[in-house]
Structure 1
């Protein structure tokens, strides 16, 4: 697209006027006294539209299926199309679509928010997004992700006392919910990047959109580490652990999530001082994890390895919480510069 530079003129002493490109006017058949829509954008620009009616166009992604279907590969493609912001996904085949494809499609609609099969024949399946991007605000999704991961952590730590090995399965289900919400934020961000009007409708800037995506990705990774902790705790539940090492695991894990909770709070409250304190507290967590690793050497083989994995994941959760505080600081500084 070629940028044209046009000078602003003043008429009547108070009205600012700029002429429209003649080629553009002719191509859209604009006549004298026709209404033109002007939209202010979050980045400070103004968009000019030849019509005042809102026209919604959907992006469509088509997949042509062959006889040899790799179920994992197909699922990845569907998730990729979803995150990329496609409104409709069409699967078609010259021959009858196999039951394997149907299973993958059904699974996809369960794990991707807002996706539903609206049409199905022997040779094609049409999946459509029924959720408007504006119906799920970014801040609500982030808060939901935070609460889910927090509850995952609490139940994992309680399992050390209750000896409940089944908790791992429950935590993995909740981790899948965290993944779904992260995909939704990634999808919304891509939709906004492709059509800036959605940012206006959601009353959000591009900077904040990107910040929410970064925090979402961090929380998703923290959820993965909680799952890793839960799996390794289940492996040592039948082992008589030293009381001190159990206490160290509890203390360090609680500290990691205290930093996480405060980091989320710092972001939403736009509190730079609190965010800096969170970052400084990570060193204490790392020292605790080192102590756990040292104590793990008293145990043999797989037990020591499991304890080491637990300590490593606790440390990583604290470092990810530190990343959230750093992201919060970067965002707060950027909006202060604009104010």
Structure 2
């Protein structure tokens, strides 16, 4: 750390000198223009204007890569903030190209701009700051919440179409979560918060943690919907369905309150979610025991659903703990 004294020229202009070694490394000369970014935590970030982070390129040799390994490589480059990803092999197989096209559909931004036998170039065509981290979090909450509610409704009404729709919506949550993760990685790499952003660096970190829990909640909503379809109209006692619906209503309210407790800095609401999770755990234990009276195949399927509901409650508690920690870190 270097300290500089502030000087005043004229009546209102503040002047501070730049560290000489840093200026040399950054290529700053007399007449150079630098960019200044006031941060929400009161700090000021200074970057050479001619040194943008917007044109990062990555070359990936995908020879012998396939399936999930290839997907992870592409997603990893995307999350690292590379705007242009060049995939090369000699040649790129048809199966690899199918995976590349599929992953582009599951990410927000990347499009194929060039394709040959030995090369595929992806370019990120979206400005990730168009969707702020806080807005992205609320969007993920709304989709996850609706998925969970509709999954339980599909189970109770044996609505196969609704269950299929829930399963399809999981991809949208994944897309938003990866975009939000990319934004957070960009903040870490540049130490710069987006302009017109009211979040601090710590807020961005906590929002990223909560988004991860919401993404897992969406995964469990999808699991419930998939099991609902696999039951294929098998008769489930009305009292069991009613009990599942009642506890599900309590859990989804916990999810909403956990996120609200973070965005509103409401520590009382967060503690209430933690208390409710303990109560829900006992309710789910009794519900799970009641399934023993059913046929084995139905009992196993519903047992998985009850487990997913419990895990969603656990994720709500995780988010409430993040909210409490966030509140206590503020002055």
User: 1:30–1:50: 8 Å Cα contact kept in structure 2?
Assistant: no
Q: Secondary structure at the match of 1:281?
A: helix
Give the root-mean-square deviation of aligned CA atoms. 2.6
Change in CA separation of 1:200 and 1:54 when aligned onto 2, cut-off 3 Å: farther
Counterpart of 2:38 (choices 34, 37, 40) is 40
Provide the residue aligned with 1:234 in structure 2.
229
Q: Which moved more, 1:176-185 or 1:235-244?
A: 235-244
Provide the residue aligned with 2:80 in structure 1.
84
Q: Using the TM superposition, give the Cα deviation of residue 62 of structure 1 relative to its aligned residue in structure 2, in angstroms.
A: 1.0
Q: Using the TM superposition, give the Cα deviation of residue 102 of structure 1 relative to its aligned residue in structure 2, in angstroms.
A: 1.8
Provide the residue aligned with 1:280 in structure 2.
275
Q: Which moved more, 1:316-325 or 1:21-30?
A: 21-30
Matched, 1:290 2:285: yes
Which whole-Å CA distance do the structure 2 matches of 1:74 and 1:323 have between them? 32
Change in CA separation of 1:318 and 1:87 when aligned onto 2, cut-off 3 Å: same
Q: Secondary structure at the match of 1:199?
A: coil
Q: Using the TM superposition, give the Cα deviation of residue 245 of structure 1 relative to its aligned residue in structure 2, in angstroms.
A: 1.7
Provide the residue aligned with 1:97 in structure 2.
92
Correspondence 1:6-45 to 2 at 5 A: 6-8=3-5, 18-25=16-23, 28=27, 30-31=29-30, 37-45=35-43
User: 1:134–1:201: 8 Å Cα contact kept in structure 2?
Assistant: no
User: 2:164–2:225: 8 Å Cα contact kept in structure 1?
Assistant: no
Provide the residue aligned with 1:136 in structure 2.
131
1:60-112, Cα deviation, whole Å (9 max, x unpaired): 2211232x44232111211111122211110112x332222221111111000
Counterpart of 2:62 (choices 42, 46, 65) is 65
User: 2:45–2:192: 8 Å Cα contact kept in structure 1?
Assistant: no
User: 1:120–1:126: 8 Å Cα contact kept in structure 2?
Assistant: yes
User: 1:199–1:205: 8 Å Cα contact kept in structure 2?
Assistant: no
Provide the residue aligned with 2:203 in structure 1.
208
Q: Structure 1 stretches of 5 or more lacking a match?
A: none
Provide the residue aligned with 2:215 in structure 1.
220
Change in CA separation of 1:128 and 1:298 when aligned onto 2, cut-off 3 Å: same
User: 1:270–1:328: 8 Å Cα contact kept in structure 2?
Assistant: yes
Q: Secondary structure at the match of 1:261?
A: helix
User: 2:56–2:81: 8 Å Cα contact kept in structure 1?
Assistant: yes
Q: Using the TM superposition, give the Cα deviation of residue 224 of structure 1 relative to its aligned residue in structure 2, in angstroms.
A: 1.1
Q: Secondary structure at the match of 1:208?
A: helix
1:287-330, Cα deviation, whole Å (9 max, x unpaired): 21111111011123222211211111111111111221221222
Q: Secondary structure at the match of 1:62?
A: strand
Q: Structure 2 stretches of 5 or more lacking a match?
A: none
Q: Using the TM superposition, give the Cα deviation of residue 262 of structure 1 relative to its aligned residue in structure 2, in angstroms.
A: 1.9
Which whole-Å CA distance do the structure 1 matches of 2:28 and 2:158 have between them? 74
Counterpart of 1:267 (choices 262, 271, 278) is 262
Count matched residues: 329
User: 2:9–2:15: 8 Å Cα contact kept in structure 1?
Assistant: no
**TM-score normalised to the size of structure 2?**
0.89
Q: Using the TM superposition, give the Cα deviation of residue 264 of structure 1 relative to its aligned residue in structure 2, in angstroms.
A: 2.1
Change in CA separation of 1:35 and 1:261 when aligned onto 2, cut-off 3 Å: closer
User: 2:91–2:117: 8 Å Cα contact kept in structure 1?
Assistant: yes
**TM-score normalised to the size of structure 1?**
0.87
